């Protein structure tokens, strides 16, 4: 039974499988290898995922949601019509769609997957990703960091020994990893990043600039107008390198304006974000204790690294052009598929020994006698960028007279005060009464390749050990809540696969109609009406021919400057 590799992305997701001939990227029901990470419900309450849902973002913004990966590991919920969904549940719907596409392509049931996560995802976000897989009907025993997956896909393990810097900027996150390959081992030396920096932020900066110029705020736009503006700015961003000046027609509040998106304007907006991206690069270099000249190759991953401004910045930092000959949108899925092949012991793959690192410092709180009003100090136990799996023990002593219990709070982060770090959970152990500082407790943290943390607390005087697997996570579900979520998601049905291409094309036409004016709008309405009539006749050959013709017209319209 095949184990698939999945890249669950902020903007797009993809999956693949390793066979005798190498990695095969699995096409979705529309024949695309990229599935937009967008989820919606239609008027009948049926589920739409991917390209069809993305086309509905403008017309049906109250029933469609995107970019929810940024909410993973939180308890925030979003509305789809009258129903509320967590980011974990929405991710599960995307994963379920990918699972069904894989089963249709492979002709067999798929029950297991390796899923990629940003290297800088914290423990909460990793748990949420595994839970999403479980809700989608997938067993996820292995998570792989996206930069590590990209390195495997690039075949860096097949090249000369050396140090490699992986820069992964997608729609919502930016990851930096430094890897070394030697003696058949791929070792991650350092990870850093920014969970709130990606292509979406460049688009947001463009929107803010337009609205500021018009003296308006986002609250003055309808959801449809805001989504329309977002999609036009996204298109302008993607084309700015080849088209340094683009004329856009925008609907802003009650106004219809023409806007010139120029390369100079975009560079000014992008500069603060590019400076933000330099910080984690420099931090990873410091943590790995490597100067730029010791990096043998710089590899770009993620669709947002296509921006010429980003590539120029990286080129200036390292004095060379980065490697980007593989498709940055699918390279992580390819690496995840190879790792999945490793897991299933594929005969087509030679073993690679992978080591990874803990992306955040993990520790506990200790009494702050210097400034009690500031709260507890953070005592690191496992430092960030420690190679995993790892097990580290630290000893503490009782802080009060006749203390009968020691509570070990578990945090991750880099601040000296625990209140500014991320709380992961706690465990308490009883201790014999005695004078302050007499009773000792050993705290052992064990952290594995999947980002799972186990805490052992041993009372030194008795030798008794208390064990706890830290599974606390905002938005996490208990067994009853998990069963309820599974029931809710199981009620959401996809449309028949054979209808999906027609639905996607109609949704695209509606989006183009909404963003057009005058004769262009009338033309689109006429084309959609003609296509509706063809569908009513239910002649498969005629529908296929009409769909191809309409697709060609929409491609031309989408290519015009003033979309």
Is 123 an annotated catalytic residue? Answer: no
Q: Of 54, 69, 130, 468, which one is the catalytic site residue?
A: 69
The third-level CATH classification (topology) of the domain covering 199-270 is Actin; Chain A, domain 4 (3.90.640)
Asked if 432 contacts 417 with a C-beta cutoff of 8 angstroms, the reply is no
* pTM of the predicted protein model: 0.74
DSSP-derived secondary structure for 44-61: TS-EEETHHHHHTTTTTG
Q: In 184-307, which ranges are continuous DSSP H helix?
A: 199-213, 223-239, 263-288
Q: Dmax of the chain from CA atoms? A: 88
Which CATH number is correct for 4-197+271-357, 3.30.379.10, 3.30.420.40, 3.10.20.880, 3.90.1530.10?
3.30.420.40
d(C-alpha 378, C-alpha 380), whole Å:
6
CATH number 2.60.34.10 given to 362-468: yes
Q: Of 55, 134, 168, 356, which one is the catalytic site residue?
A: 168
Asked if 177 contacts 187 with a C-beta cutoff of 8 angstroms, the reply is no
Is 327 an annotated catalytic residue? Answer: no
pLDDT value at residue 243:
87
Burial environment of residue 327 by CB neighbours within 10 A (0 to 12, 13 to 18, 19 or more)? middle
Q: Residue 430 has which token pair?
A: 């009883």
Which has the closest alpha carbon to 524: 510, 535, 534, 536? 510
Q: Residue 102 has which token pair?
A: 């894989």
3-class state of residue 267 by DSSP:
helix
Is 146 an annotated catalytic residue? Answer: yes
Residue spans of the domains in the chain: they are 4-197+271-357, 199-270, 362-468, 498-558
Q: Given CA atoms 359, 365, 370, 371 in this order, what sign does their dihedral have?
A: positive
Asked if 47 contacts 492 with a C-beta cutoff of 8 angstroms, the reply is yes
Is 168 an annotated catalytic residue? Answer: yes
Residue 27: how many other CB atoms lie within 10 Å = 17
Asked if 193 contacts 277 with a C-beta cutoff of 8 angstroms, the reply is no
pLDDT value at residue 1:
75
pLDDT value at residue 349:
45
Contacts of 47 (CB under 8 A, 6+ apart): 39, 40, 41, 93, 492, 493, 494, 495
d(C-alpha 395, C-alpha 401), whole Å:
18
pLDDT value at residue 225:
83
d(C-alpha 13, C-alpha 194), whole Å:
20
pLDDT in tens, the chain (563 residues): 789 999 999 999 999 999 888 899 999 999 999 999 999 998 888 889 999 999 888 778 889 999 899 889 888 888 888 889 999 999 999 999 999 999 999 999 999 999 999 877 877 888 899 999 999 999 997 888 888 888 888 876 555 678 999 999 988 889 898 988 877 677 788 888 888 899 999 999 999 999 999 888 888 888 878 888 888 899 899 889 888 888 887 877 777 888 899 999 999 999 999 999 999 999 999 999 999 999 988 999 988 999 999 999 999 999 888 887 788 999 999 999 998 987 776 544 445 556 677 888 999 998 876 666 677 899 999 998 888 888 999 999 998 899 999 999 999 888 888 888 888 888 889 999 989 989 999 999 998 876 678 899 999 999 999 887 775 455 566 677 778 888 878 777 766 666 788 888 888 888 788 767 678 888 888 898 888 888 888 888 888 899 889 988 888 887 654 33
d(C-alpha 403, C-alpha 11), whole Å:
52
Q: Of 42, 55, 134, 146, which one is the catalytic site residue?
A: 146
Element (H, E) at 455: strand 453-459
């Amino acid at each position: 039974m095949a184990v698939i590799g999945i890249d669950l992305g902020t903007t797009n997701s993809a999956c693949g499988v390793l066979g005798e001939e190498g990695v095969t990227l699995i096409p979705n029901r529309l024949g695309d290898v990229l599935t937009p990470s967008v989820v919606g419900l239609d008027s009948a309450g049926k589920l739409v995922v991917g390209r069809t849902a993305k086309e509905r973002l403008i017309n049906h913004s109250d029933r469609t949601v995107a970019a929810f990966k940024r909410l993973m590991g939180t308890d925030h919920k979003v509305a789809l019509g009258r129903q509320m969904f967590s980011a974990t549940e929405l991710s599960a719907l995307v994963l379920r769609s990918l699972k069904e596409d894989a089963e249709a392509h492979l002709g067999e049931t798929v029950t297991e997957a390796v899923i990629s996560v940003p290297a800088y995802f914290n423990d909460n976000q990793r748990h949420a990703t595994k839970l999403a897989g479980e809700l989608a009907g997938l067993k996820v025993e292995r998570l792989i960091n996206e930069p590590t997956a990209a390195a495997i896909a690039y075949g860096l393990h097949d090249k000369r020994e050396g140090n490699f810097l992986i820069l992964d900027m997608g729609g919502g996150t930016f990851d930096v990893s430094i890897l070394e390959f030697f003696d058949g081992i791929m070792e991650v030396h350092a990870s850093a990043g920014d969970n709130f920096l990606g292509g979406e932020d460049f688009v947001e900066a463009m929107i803010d600039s337009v609205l500021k110029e018009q003296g308006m705020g986002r609250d003055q736009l309808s959801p449809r107008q805001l989504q329309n503006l977002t999609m036009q700015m996204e298109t302008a961003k993607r084309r700015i390198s080849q088209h340094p000046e683009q004329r856009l027609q925008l609907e802003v509040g009650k106004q219809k304006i023409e806007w010139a998106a120029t390369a100079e304007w975009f560079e000014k907006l992008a500069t603060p974000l590019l400076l933000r991206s330099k910080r984690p690069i420099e931090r990873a270099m410091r943590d790995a204790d490597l100067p730029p000249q010791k990096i043998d190759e710089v590899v770009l991953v993620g669709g947002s690294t296509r921006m010429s401004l980003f590539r120029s910045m990286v080129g200036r930092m390292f004095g060379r052009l980065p490697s980007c000959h593989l498709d940055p949108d699918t390279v992580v899925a390819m690496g995840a598929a190879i790792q999945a092949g490793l897991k299933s012991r594929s005969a087509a793959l030679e073993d690679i020994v992978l080591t990874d690192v803990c992306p955040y410092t993990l520790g506990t709180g200790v009494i702050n006698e210097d400034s009690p009003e500031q709260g507890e100090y953070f005592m690191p136990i496992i430092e960030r960028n420690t190679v995993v799996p790892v097990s580290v023990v630290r000893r503490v002593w009782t802080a009060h007279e006749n203390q009968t219990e020691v509570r070990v709070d578990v945090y991750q982060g880099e601040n000296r005060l625990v209140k500014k770090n991320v709380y992961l959970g706690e465990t308490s152990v009883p201790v014999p009464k005695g004078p302050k500082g007499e009773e000792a407790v050993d705290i052992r943290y064990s952290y594995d390749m999947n980002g799972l943390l186990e805490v052992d607390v041993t009372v030194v005087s008795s030798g008794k050990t208390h064990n706890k697997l830290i599974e606390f996570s905002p938005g996490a579900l208990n067994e009853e809540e998990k069963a309820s979520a599974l029931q809710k998601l199981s009620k959401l049905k996809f449309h028949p696969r054979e209808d999906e291409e027609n639905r996607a094309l109609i949704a695209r036409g509606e989006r183009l109609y909404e963003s057009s004016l005058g004769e262009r709008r009338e033309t689109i309405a006429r084309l959609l009406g003609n296509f509706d009539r063809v569908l009513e006749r239910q002649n498969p050959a005629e529908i296929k021919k009409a769909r191809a013709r309409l697709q060609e017209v929409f491609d031309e319209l989408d290519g015009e400057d003033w979309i």
